[in-house]
Amino acid sequence: MINYYLCVLIFCWLSLLILAILVYENDRLSLRAKGMFYLTFTLISAAAFAEFCGVMLDGKEEYPSWGLMVAKCADYSLTPMCVVALANMRIHTIWKKTMTRILLLNAVFQVFGVIFGWTVSIDEHHYYHHGPLFPVYILICLVIIVLLSVQFIQYGKNFRRQNRLSLYCIMLLVVLSIIIQESSINCRIVYLGMTLAAALLFIHYTEFSQLAADDVLSEQRVQLMLSQIKPHFLYNVLGSIEMLCDMNPKAAKLATRKFSRYLRGNMDAISGPSQIPFERELQHTQLYLDLEQTRFEDALQVRQKIDVKDFFLPPLTLEPIVENAVKHGIRRNPDGRGMIQIETEELEDCYEIRVIDNGAGFESNALPDGREHVGIRNVTERLEQICGGSLQIDSAPGKGTTAIIRIPKQ
């Protein structure tokens, strides 16, 4: 039995080690989520080791009896903690304080239970037996399982039917492994069941976290597209084209073509790929600037210093930054005139895009008028979630603004 049992535990420990490596290599997980996984894997490993020590020391008169007592105390204290930790891999229980008190109470109860023989007693041949208050430990475990089951059922209501089924089956796997082990001394599979549950919950977490992230990105794309459809901008461009129809029909035709391409670019950002070549984004930005120069002529100067353009970035990343530079920078100058410069540079670990204007500027610690800067927030969030990029904005009143977009090479 020991050989078979040891093989099962080695399988569990190796599986938990592989899971820990997978968690470490997953860049999409937050530090808090990784810490939660590491804690769960550590508790299962420690509890399995405690149970193994209890099995190995049972009936071994050559070893001191206190070693067996410590092993059983650790086993009965850590096992409920493992169950709660497994549940916390997927749910955040509203009874967190209650669970913590129950686990602490059980740990204290096990210490006194082993010392005074309430839960574990050891005979003269160093065999352990359940004490008269061992059913109290079973009752504590049942209370924990019932509370967590209620939480799982409530949490599962947030999922579709087929997604709830997988969650409930994982919960049932742990419960069945506990029932089978408690009903058969020679079938120790609790920690095997917990290890499998940990692996399945990790898959469940990463799968549906990815789906949730995709939903957020889709919603952000819609919000970004809607934020780009600004009635005042549309009216102003159409008004400029209407004036050109009388003054310069050829220029009006060219402006109409650019306006059509600009609108198409905004629509493509919803259904298109999550990342596009920088050159394509630059072309879309240039369409916007051409339309603005149709209105303001030489009051808006544009310069470009493009040292590198062979990289990808999320669509509608550069254009909203440039649009904000025109609307909230250049146009707020006393004379309504100014210059925007777009630069790119390849650094050791990233590609850097800089949008520099000599507009009115503002205090860098807070963007003015948050309602008008929803595009900036969307750009920041999409950069972080899609490619791990960042947006930095430095500004000072009367000195202009510099926006720096960084796209990691990896």
How does pLDDT run across 217-260, given as a tens digit for each residue? Answer: 666 555 555 555 566 677 777 888 888 887 888 888 888 888 88
* Position 163 confidence tier, pLDDT thresholds 50, 70, 90: low
- Of 189-203, 253-267, 316-330, the range with the lowest mean pLDDT is 253-267
Q: Amino acid letter at 39?
A: L
Can you read off the two tokens belonging to residue 15?
Answer: 């599986």
Half-sphere exposure of residue 256, counting CA atoms within 13 Å on the CB side?
Answer: 11
**Cα torsion at 14, 18, 20, 24 (round to 10°)?**
150
* Position 93 confidence tier, pLDDT thresholds 50, 70, 90: low
Give the per-residue pLDDT at 312. 92
Half-sphere exposure of residue 308, counting CA atoms within 13 Å on the CB side?
Answer: 15
CB 188 within 8 A of CB 8: yes
Helix, strand and coil content of the chain, in percent to the nearest 5, comes to: 65, 10, 20
Q: How far apart are CA 56 and CA 326, in angstroms?
A: 75
CB 114 within 8 A of CB 120: yes
Say how far residue 410 (Cα) sits from the centre of its chain. Answer: 19
Do 2-215 and 229-408 agree at the fold level?
Answer: no
| pTM, two decimal places | 0.58
Nearest Cα residue to 325 out of 279, 276, 385, 285: 285
- Cα–Cα distances (Å) from 98 to 102, 135, 144, 406, in that order, read 6, 21, 10, 46
- Cα–Cα distances (Å) from 300 to 93, 213, 256, in that order, read 56, 39, 20
Fold classified for 2-215: Rhopdopsin 7-helix transmembrane proteins (1.20.1070)
Question: What stretches of 144-285 adopt beta strand conformation (E)?
Answer: 276-277
Mean pLDDT, rounded, of the chain: 83
Q: What 3-state class would DSSP assign to 119?
A: coil
What value, to the nearest 5°, has the Cα angle with vertex 204 and ends 199 and 208?
Answer: 155
For residue range 103-139, list pLDDT tens digits in order.
999 999 999 998 888 998 888 888 888 889 999 998 9
For residue range 358-377, list pLDDT tens digits in order.
988 887 665 544 444 656 77
- Of 17-31, 58-72, 257-271, 380-394, the range with the lowest mean pLDDT is 257-271
Q: At what angle do helices 318-328 and 190-228 cross, to 10 degrees?
A: 40
C-alpha dihedral sign at 120, 123, 127, 129: negative
Q: Where are the domains of the chain?
A: 2-215, 229-408
Q: At what angle do helices 278-296 and 249-271 cross, to 10 degrees?
A: 140
CATH hierarchy code of domain 229-408: 3.30.565.10
Give the per-residue pLDDT at 213. 62
Can you read off the two tokens belonging to residue 288?
Answer: 């916007």
The set of residues, in sequence order, having a beta carbon less than 8 Å from that of 379 and lying 6+ positions away, is 224, 314, 316, 317, 320, 321, 391
